[in-house]
Amino acid sequence: MRMKPSDLLPPTGPTSSQTLLTDPAYAAAAIAVGGELTGIEEEPGRERVIFIFAGLKPTFLEDVVGGRVVVEARVFIAAGEHMKSLLAQIRARRGRQGR
């Protein structure tokens, strides 16, 4: 199921200018560098969540892995808290749906 992070309503599908991430830490880094979280996709029958971002450089993942992404600690911490909140909302909704 796809959902928008703000209200958990279905968004449109990802485009070639979007970046799909499954690791919440990478998603937090994407938010910290100014990426726009445009949607969240849940894989049916799996616990994995896919975060859909726009506005990231095509080399974002390589830059993160290569240590070329630098952000202020408070910005990264705030982005991490935002990701934790989104994941908690998803878990709560799954619990209500009996998954």
* pLDDT at residue 38 tops 50: yes
Q: What is the pLDDT of residues 8-36, one digit of tens each?
A: 333 444 455 899 999 999 999 999 999 99
DSSP secondary structure, the chain, as one string: -EE-TTT----PPP-TTEEEE--HHHHHHHHHTT-EEEEEEE-TTSS-EEEEEES--TTHHHHHHTT-----HHHHHHHHHHHHHHHHHHHHHHHHHT-
Predicted TM-score of the model (pTM): 0.77
| Per-residue pLDDT reduced to its tens digit, 48-87 | 899 999 999 999 999 999 999 999 999 999 999 999 999 9
